[in-house]
Structure formats: C-alpha cells, structure tokens
Structure 1
C-alpha cells in the first residue's frame, strides 16, 4: 500500500485506521472459512473499526484500490495457505468474499453521501432562511462557503411558487456547469433561489427561469455579494405575493416593477421605495415637476389639459414630463409608469401630513 501516493500522504493515525479495517476484514474472512455452510458475515460493520470521518479522507475509488491490493496479496498466498487439493476452492472463496467487501464499501459510502446530502440540505435551508430574515452574518457566509458558494460579482434572488416536480439537484448541477453559485430554500409557499455569478445577470436569470416549471418568477434587485443579498430575497418574496394582481406580468418580472401592487397590498418597504425613488427626487427638483405630474395624471393624461390647468404651453408640459422621466426612469405617458407615479404622489402627500 505504500506504493499508493495518496496512502503515503495520509496522517499516521488515518493509516492505522486503514490497517485496522484490513485486519478486521481478514479476520472475518478467516472465521467464515472455519464455519463452512454459513452465510457470509459481510456488511458495513466490517468498516466499523474506523471512524466515519475516514470516509472524507479516503474516497470510494481509493477504497477499491485498497481492496484490490489486499485481494491480490491473499490470492498470491492461496497456494501456500490452502490445504492440498483445496487451492481452487480457497481462490473461489477469496473472489466471493472480495465481491461482498466491495458491495459493503459501496453501502458505507452511499450512506455517508446520503447523510452528508441531508446535512447540506439543512445548512442550505438555514442560509436561505437567514437571508429571508435579514440576518446574513459571518456564520451564514461561512456556511454558504462550505456549500460551495464561490466568489461572485453579483447576487440576485428569484422567488416562485414551490413546484411539485422540480429536480433541484439537476438544476443545481446545471447552474454549477454554467459557472453560477446557487442556494435554494423554501419560505412559506415560495421557492427561493439565490444566484451568484459573473457576466450577464439577465442571461443567467433567463437560463435558470427556463428550467423552472411554468409559474410566476419574481427577481429581486441585484446585490454586490451574499452579505448584502437579504433585501433582494425579501423583495423577491414580496413581489411574488403581489404578482397575482398583475395578470399580464412578464416572466420573470423584476420586483421593482410590482411596486404599485405591493403598495396596494400595504407593504411598507414598497412605500419607502416610492418615496425615496420617485416622490422625494421630484420634490427636491422643485415643485414644478410635482405639479406637472399631478396635473397630467389627474387630468386624464392630457398634455393640453395639464397645460390649461397650469396656464402653460403644451410644449412646456412635455418638457417637464421628459425631465420627470430622466429623473425617475418612469414615463408617465405609459399607463403602468403613470400608475406608479400617481401612487408615489399619494404616498408622498400622505407622508407629509
């Protein structure tokens, strides 16, 4: 076994455990030979002499190498060990026993993989839950790193109703092959996917959405890293709660495009965003833009009507509306954008009372 480089690199204590396993297997084989007709007493207990942690230091492929070497040594000694005329019978017993040992090793590693997978799933669920609650501290980041979360340039969260027929393992493998880090978890009746990567965010999101069942998908705002991704998760969930109020919503739909629906449902975070992103910038730009937006929207969306209300030329109204679009990114001539601005005016006025 010293010819195996990986075996020589093991810690002395780990090598001693390997020796104990080999000794236990040979002892069990000898006892079985002494009791002809008895079933083979081979199972995972053959490996009980070593701690479970050894499965992390010695993988299944390396275990098979050890079994092959041990069996080879025993087969070479068969002519010496066998009684006269029993060499063939002993060789057959060695072959049968080695097969059972290999199956037992596979059982041990399969059980270890299942246990590790179950533990990883619990850790992953805990990481996502921490993001949902806004408690992404150092421990959360450390646990995410232990799950394979790598260095990323951006992070976004996706929320969709919990699907009944989604193979998360396949989705995670597909994401990893595409260079994406992914965490998944459930919050209430929603599946939350946290994506991280480099390059195009939109392309990555579209790739993952294409693998999801046909249902609404809401995308939270982009974050710089996992430590700052809690708002993205929270907004994606809030958007999913409201997306049913917009039957024509695209798939996926940014959470920010659902501000009107979220405000209508009483979400405080959406009210704050309308204040900070629409009303306050318009107010700070001077009262003219607020007055023009109000006259235009409350006058049925007529430039001429707003001009008559404000005693302005229609071109002046158009100029101010263009300034409003430049400032907020919202074109009030579009029905949905106009709805958002109108709600922002209502929220802003009620907040100043």
Structure 2
C-alpha cells in the first residue's frame, strides 16, 4: 500500500504482484547478496571475520528487509521497538571499532541494491508505484539512520567515558606513585613528562572563552596523539597542565613537540620536559612544573625547556639569603631607571653596544656613558668577565623579586601544584 503519512491510498504492486510479497520471497537470498556487496564495496566490512558476516551482519540485514516489507504491506512507519535490533547492532559495531560512516554506508548501499533488485523488471505502467515505493524506502531510511546513529553514538560515548576514567586513573596513579593502582596496567618503559603552559587563543578573549578553551585543549590532545602515534596521558585544561608521553624507543624531540602543540593551540606555548621511568614520574612532574614556572617568571620566549636551559634562574628561585644580596647589588641604579634599563639591554644583546643603542633609541656614545655611570655607582664593570657573571645573577635576582615569585603563600603554591599534576 502507498504510505502517505498515516493514510492508505492503495496497494503497491509491480507487474500486478504486491511489492511486499515480491520482497518476502527473496529475503534470505537477498540478505546474503547484500552482505557480499558490503564486503566487496566497503573496506571495513572486508576485514570483518566471515563468521560475523554470515551471522550478525546477515541477521540484521534480514531484519531490515522484513521491516521494509512490512512498511510496504501495512503502509505505516516502523515502531520504536522494531528499530531496537538496529540500535543494538550499531552498538556492537561501535564496540568493534567499525566507523559510523562505514556503518551508514552499508545501510545506504543496501537500500540502493534493494531498489535495483526490486525494480529491475519494472515497466512503464509501474512508474507511479515505483516512485511511491522509493519514497517509502527513503522514509524508512530516515528512521533507520536515526536509530543506527543513536545506538552507535550512545555506545561510543559510554566507551569513551570508560576510557577517560581509566586514563585519568592511570595519570593520577603515575603522578602519585601509587604502585598498587598501577597493578595490571601496561606502562611504557619511560615517559616524557611535559608541563604545558598555554597562552590564550584569540577566541578565548571573546564571550565564548570557555568553549574556545575546551576546543583548544582538544586540539592539543589530538595533535599530540597524531605526532606521537599513540594515546598520551594528560591532566591539563585550557591554561596548561601535565602530559605524559609514552617513550618506547626514541624520545620525542622537545622542540618539535613545542612546535606541534603551539600550532594546535593557536597561541603561545611553553613546555618544560624531563624523561623518567614510571617510578620516577612523580619527581619528574614536580621538576618540570618548577622549571615551567621559572621559564614564565623570567619571561623566556615560547618553546621547550629543560632544567639545563635555566639552571641559573632555577637556582635563584631556591630560597636563600643570597637572593636579596644579589638583587641589592643593583640598588644604586634605582634612582636612575635609564641606567638599569641600559645595563639589562646590554647583557640581553650579548654586550653589543650598537644593538643596545638601537633598542633604546639612543646614540652608542650614550650607551658608553651610561655603562661608565653603572661602574661608578655599583663597582661592577660588565667588561670585566669576573664582574659579568655577578651582574647577570644580580639582574636575574632582581627580575625574580619583581615578578613576585615566592610571594605566594605555601598553601596557594601547593594548590597550584595540585592543579598542574591533576591531583584535584
């Protein structure tokens, strides 16, 4: 019968025979032919075990053909319970890792082949019924596609939730050194422990900053997974955190890792890295967090850093009586900010007076004059190699003090560390 909403117009026939009877006669044979077509034309199905093709796939194909036949016969759409087997079958494909697009391709290929088989002998007098039957099949496919997509995505979401839970449990156990929780977990021989500090993407400045931040985090995870070639363990948000990159052979090059993460983030990114075996991950995580904080406190440019890259700055952040004394060496320059600015630029340019002059927009002779004033006020001569190290340490100590590093209370610093390591 022609199905138009809920109205029955007349029986659908082909060469005088009801369409549903034509379909019923060949369901088992047609189902096997359709499944062979899936395996021939859809690569994923070609890789499925023959037992599964002959069993579950053929059974659900027969069920679909019977539903289409019933639609032809009754002139009414399939009920929700009729579509339950489609949802369940789609959930099993999700468990097996069959992509949703391959699953939907099989349904649409099946619908096309059914139409070709049913209507291959249709004559001019069957045109109206063939058009009506095609419309019925399209309406059926709408319902089937919705059921299949729902069943697949619900199962996939459940699986992802389990995977995420397992990943976070593994990250927490590794960072916390919980050997009991790691029993039975397949760990890499070593991990590249990475502290990530991410700047803000332009979209995060807008009203939808929260959404933009989550999208940035997702891009970073995906880029790391592609670059490394396997899942990484992470505990980070839009501003940064900890990533554990499995190292099974060669250690990933840190600079390239920073480039990949920066490109994915679309923002400035700082990485601090250290390689360690599983039992060394907690200590490595604490170290890279401290290195990252040093890197950002001292205004280092985006990129990848190890402890060796910031040894002086790192040591200056350790609490000691020497810190105040070092910073105080330059106190005589505080009444003349131009002198301190010139000395800083002179060291930053590698003792190049002309580049210093260009940066400060002054004449090179002015640079010479100011440096002589520095010597007379502090007794420290940047041209003297013995003094140069002390000046560099004094400038670093003053930067350290001005940034307020260490002014945070111990409780707040501890909370910050817990955020970075994911120990929420």
Q: TM-score range by the shorter chain?
A: 0.5 to 0.7
**Counterpart contact for 1:239–1:262, Cα < 8 Å:** no
Aligned to 1:335: 393
| Distance change >3 Å, CA 140–CA 125, structure 1 → 2 | farther
Unaligned runs of at least 5 residues, structure 1: 146-150, 266-292, 302-317, 322-330, 340-353
| Distance change >3 Å, CA 336–CA 138, structure 1 → 2 | farther
The Cα offsets for residues 99-158 of structure 1, whole Å up to 9 and x where unpaired, read as 44234333333334433333333333233322321347894895677xxxxx98x71311
Superposition map of 1:248-263 within 5 A: 248=299, 250-251=301-302, 254=305, 256=307, 257=310, 259-260=314-315, 263=318
Matched, 1:169 2:206: no
Aligned to 1:98: 141
Distance in 1 (alpha carbons) for counterparts of 2:256 and 2:47: 46
Distance in 2 (alpha carbons) for counterparts of 1:69 and 1:236: 55
Distance in 1 (alpha carbons) for counterparts of 2:47 and 2:227: 36
Aligned to 1:111: 154
| Distance change >3 Å, CA 234–CA 140, structure 1 → 2 | farther
2:289 is aligned, of 237, 251, 258, to 237
Distance in 2 (alpha carbons) for counterparts of 1:35 and 1:14: 30
Matched, 1:41 2:76: no
* Deviation (angstroms), 1:216: 8.1
| Distance change >3 Å, CA 243–CA 338, structure 1 → 2 | closer
| Distance change >3 Å, CA 230–CA 141, structure 1 → 2 | farther
1:134 is aligned, of 174, 177, 189, to 177
* Deviation (angstroms), 1:69: 3.2
Matched, 1:193 2:243: yes
| Distance change >3 Å, CA 131–CA 159, structure 1 → 2 | farther
1:16 is aligned, of 50, 55, 58, to 55
Distance in 2 (alpha carbons) for counterparts of 1:105 and 1:51: 5
Unaligned runs of at least 5 residues, structure 2: 1-34, 201-209, 331-384, 398-424
Q: Which one has more relative contact order, counting CA pairs under 8 Å at least 6 apart? A: 2
Return the TM-score normalized by structure 2.
0.49
| Distance change >3 Å, CA 136–CA 230, structure 1 → 2 | farther
1:28 is aligned, of 62, 67, 90, to 67
**Counterpart contact for 2:272–2:304, Cα < 8 Å:** yes
Superposition map of 1:280-299 within 5 A: none
**Counterpart contact for 2:196–2:241, Cα < 8 Å:** yes
The Cα offsets for residues 187-237 of structure 1, whole Å up to 9 and x where unpaired, read as 9x95223346745322322442465476884614x2156664443322233
1:160 is aligned, of 197, 201, 209, to 197
| Distance change >3 Å, CA 75–CA 238, structure 1 → 2 | same
* Deviation (angstroms), 1:32: 3.1
The Cα offsets for residues 287-313 of structure 1, whole Å up to 9 and x where unpaired, read as xxxxxx9xx989969xxxxxxxxxxxx
Q: Secondary structure at the match of 1:52?
A: helix
